[in-house]
Amino acid sequence: MTPNLGQGACLALEDAVELAALVSAAAGVDDGLREYDARRRPRTQRLAAASARAARVVQSEGRLAVALRDTAARITPPRLAARLGARSIAWQPPPPPPRASA
């Protein structure tokens, strides 16, 4: 994960919550790990790819590329920028496990 979306630590926290929930709810650790991988892989791969694309833009070199990048950043409406970033923060934690009755 490149640092261009600022999601590395966020994803680590999400991973910890998901892993704890899935392993504790599964019949066994192996089952929980398989479910964890199936649930987390699509989101983390999508964000890693988006971060890599952002890196190519942010780290552009050359007068024309830099001018285009800076102009695009300056004229992008704030609502559009927020909408583009919304997917990276759209994670919801899993529901808590049912409480054991006393």
Q: What is the pLDDT of residues 25-70, one digit of tens each?
A: 888 999 999 999 999 999 999 999 999 998 998 898 999 999 999 9
101 located within any domain: no
30 located within any domain: yes
> With 70 as the cut, is the pLDDT of residue 91 above it?
yes
Q: What torsion, rounded to 10 degrees, do the Cα atoms 36, 19, 91, 60 define?
A: -80
Closest CA to 47 of 83, 90, 93, 1: 1
pLDDT at 1: 81
Closest CA to 32 of 44, 45, 23: 23
> With 90 as the cut, is the pLDDT of residue 5 above it?
no
Q: Which residue has the tokens 């892993």?
A: 19
Q: Is 90 exposed, middle or buried (0-12, 13-18, 19+ CB in 10 A)?
A: exposed
pLDDT at 47: 92
Count of domains in the chain? Answer: 1
- DSSP H or E segment with residue 8: helix 8-25
Domain span at residue 22?
A: 3-89
Q: Which of 15-19, 54-58, 84-88, 98-102 has the lowest mean pLDDT?
A: 98-102
Q: What's the Cα-to-Cα distance from 44 to each of 13, 41, 50, 58, rounded to whole Å?
A: 12, 5, 10, 20
> With 80 as the cut, is the pLDDT of residue 11 above it?
yes
77 located within any domain: yes
102 located within any domain: no
What percentage of the chain exceeds 90 in pLDDT? 57
The pTM score is: 0.76
Q: Which residue has the tokens 């409406």?
A: 77
96 located within any domain: no
